[in-house]
Structure 1
Amino acid sequence: MSVRILGLVGSLRSGSHNRQLAEAAVKHAPEGVDVALYDGLADVPFYNEDIDVEGLVPEAARRLREAAAAADAFLLFSPEYNGTIPAVLKNAIDWLSRPYGAGALVGKPVAVVGTALGQYGGVWAQDETRKAVGIAGGTVLEDVKLSIPNSAGRFAEVHPADDAEVGDLLVGVLDKVAAAAAPSAV
């Protein structure tokens, strides 16, 4: 049985380097690891407890929760927006944190990676994302990190999926996430 990793990308831009990095993760997934990218984050309304009640949960939020519930682990791709986590990714974490104590993230391994324009590759945003995921109940894999700096220069001529070094780094990340998820995937 394959380990199912759900990828959430914190950028909605069509040419996003983080989206491309996520596509590279799909391409380089080792045998026994299935990486699926969730494409509906733009449709999920901002979290509001008033609509998070039976019969009122928006369809887009329900679909996100279903996809997350079916996953064994998560790989979050976070760009850095003004030094912190993008709203779309934070919103997904908020929806997946509920119901409190029993959300789809609870007890599942989560790794956060990404790329950004700056010289540190978005580490501030990734740290904030890890913090939010941990509070939401996910099992943050603190030792699984990948921050690729200078995304505009690094990926100007080559897609991350075709960058051999990036491919190798992603395989290492996916191996660690899969190992952390393996007991729950049985």
Structure 2
Amino acid sequence: MARLPILAICGSLRADSLHRGLLRAVERRAPGLQLLGEDLVGELPLMDPDLDTPNRMPSAAREFRLLAEACAGAVIASPEYVHSASGVTKNALDWLAGSTGLYGKPVLLMSASPGQTGGIRGLAALVPTLLALDATLVDPVTVSRAPSRIRADGEVLEAGLDLRLDIAVEQLRDALAVSAVAAR
């Protein structure tokens, strides 16, 4: 059976990022979903409206937009930088403006940090942009004290986080099912 394509955005370019670990943890819990596009995010140039034309759009941006439009939803794992979203995440979302990439689609937001807030301020900063893109938000996941709770390879080290991720994936699946029915 074909897996349902889901856009994956990792807002950290670090190879050993805990945010990549969050995406891996989702993949392990959702064998029916195929997370795509994570590698394209790092190839996107800074959004420039002058390039947002059919003849000038960079190939990575065109591919990213087409992939987003073909996906049923998205999972965004983004760190909090200086009490806001990472520039990498915001840039990826800016490239989706003017497209139907996230229109009416479920989006699961996740963040991890070594501190007590789990990156919630960074996720909160993304909400207006996602609402402007007409995305449907699923309850977010934040992971405080992340280095002791999850590894960069996606191995979860704590039962409570394991359960929270199971619930988040179930909520995403439910939202994808509702979205599919509404699209018919």
Normalising by structure 2, we get a TM-score of 0.87
Q: Is 1:77 aligned to residue 77 of structure 2?
A: yes
Counterpart of 2:168?
173
Partners of 1:27 and 1:161 within 8 A in 2 = no
Counterpart of 1:18?
19
Unmatched tracts of structure 1, length 5 or more:
none
Q: Is 1:153 aligned to residue 148 of structure 2?
A: yes
Counting only pairs closer than 5 Å after superposition, residues 42-81 of structure 1 correspond to structure 2 as 42-81=42-81
Counting only pairs closer than 5 Å after superposition, residues 27-176 of structure 1 correspond to structure 2 as 27-29=28-30, 32-36=32-36, 38-99=38-99, 103-141=100-138, 144-155=139-150, 159-163=153-157, 165=159, 166-176=161-171
CA separation in 2, counterparts of 1:164 and 1:149?
Answer: 12
Deviation at 1:152, TM superposition (A): 2.9
Partners of 2:148 and 2:157 within 8 A in 1 = no
Deviation at 1:159, TM superposition (A): 4.9
Unmatched tracts of structure 2, length 5 or more:
none
Code of the residue aligned with 1:121 in structure 2: it is G
Partners of 1:97 and 1:106 within 8 A in 2 = no
* Matched length: 179
CA RMSD of aligned residues (A): 2.1
For residues 85 and 41 of structure 1, do their structure 2 counterparts lie closer, same or farther at Cα, with a shift above 3 Å needed? same
Partners of 1:3 and 1:185 within 8 A in 2 = no
Normalising by structure 1, we get a TM-score of 0.86
CA separation in 2, counterparts of 1:55 and 1:159?
Answer: 39
CA separation in 2, counterparts of 1:75 and 1:3?
Answer: 13
Partners of 2:149 and 2:158 within 8 A in 1 = no
